[in-house]
Copies of this chain bind each other. A is one copy, B any other.
Amino acid sequence: MENIYQTLMQLPLFQGVSRAKLLELVEKTRFHFLKYEDGEKVASRATACTHLKFLLSGSIRCEMSTYDGKVRLIQTLHAPDIIAPDHIFGRSTHYPGNYYAEGQVGLMQIDKSTFMSFMQDEPIFLINMLNILSRRSQKSKESLLSISNGDLRERLAYWILNLTSRNATDIHINARQRDLYSYFGVQRTALLNTLAEMKQEKIIDYTINEVHILDRRALRDMLLEGIEFMEE
C-alpha cells in the first residue's frame, strides 16, 4: 500500500490529497488491480471508457491514427500516469487509440461512479480534475493562437503537442511520405526540407515512412516560448 500511495501521489490528480484521506478512500473503495504481459492490449480504440485507469508500473504504448488511417501516431506512456482522463466524461467516452503493454504493466482502475463520489467527497480531487481538463482545452487554444507563420515546423509542433502527453517518450509518426505531406498540406520538397532541418537540429530523426520525435520539448518551446501561459 505504501508503494501505491507513493506512486499515486506523483499524479496531478492526487496532488494535495493527504495520506490519511487516500488511505480512507482505499479502505472503503473497490480498487481493481490488473496485470498485463508484454504486448497485451490494455484498451481498444473506440471502446467505452468506463473506468479511470491508473498506470502504476511499467509502460504503455498508445497508437492513434487519423480517421482515414493514413497517418499513425505512436507514443509511450510511463508510470505513474492516467490513461485518457479526458475520455471518461463528455460525448465521446471512448478511448482515442489502442493501448498495449510494453513489458510487464500494473494498472489500478476505478469505475466512473466511484470516481464521481471521490470528487464529491474530497474537493481536492474535484479541483485537480477540473484543472487537468481545463488545461487541455486551454493548451489547444493557446498553441493555436501562438502559431505565427504557419510553416510545417509550427504545424508539426502543434500536432505533436496536442496529441501526445507531456511525459510521453518514443513518439513516432508512421506514414508514407506522400500521405504525410498531403496530411500537413505541403509540397514534397517542403516536407523533406523541413524534416532535414529538424533532423540537423536533433529535434527529430526520420526514415522513408517514419518520423521519430527526439525532442518534444523543443517543439513546445518553438510554439509556446515567450507565451506567458505555459504548458500543463
**Bound: A182/B149 CA distance, A:** 5
| Complex interface: chain B residues within 8 A of A92 (CB) | 135, 138, 142, 229
> Which of B64, B86, B154, B159 is close to A137, meaning CB atoms less than 8 Å apart?
B86
Is the C-beta of A189 less than 8 angstroms from some C-beta in chain B?
no
| Complex interface: chain B residues within 8 A of A132 (CB) | 90
Among listed A2-10, A15-23, A65-73, interface-contacting one: A65-73
> Which of B127, B142, B185 is close to A154, meaning CB atoms less than 8 Å apart?
B185
- A120-B120, A140-B162, A141-B96 given as contacts; is B126 within 8 A of A183 (CB)? no
- With an 8 Å Cβ cutoff, the count of chain A residues facing the other chain is 60
- A67-B227, A126-B120 given as contacts; is B150 within 8 A of A182 (CB)? yes
Closest to A67 in B: B146
Q: B91 and A185: CB pair below 8 A?
A: no
Closest to A73 in B: B145
**Bound: A149/B182 CA distance, A:** 5
- A148-B183, A150-B185 given as contacts; is B131 within 8 A of A89 (CB)? yes
Is the C-beta of A144 less than 8 angstroms from some C-beta in chain B?
yes
Q: B145 and A87: CB pair below 8 A?
A: no
Q: B67 and A148: CB pair below 8 A?
A: yes
| Complex interface: chain B residues within 8 A of A152 (CB) | 185
Q: A116 and B126: CB pair below 8 A?
A: yes
- 27 A-B contact pairs sorted by A residue (CB < 8 Å): A65-B145, A66-B145, A66-B146, A67-B146, A86-B137, A86-B138, A87-B138, A89-B131, A90-B130, A90-B134, A90-B138, A91-B138, A91-B229, A116-B126, A119-B126, A120-B123, A126-B126, A129-B130, A133-B137, A136-B140, A137-B137, A137-B140, A140-B162, A145-B163, A149-B185, A150-B183, A152-B185
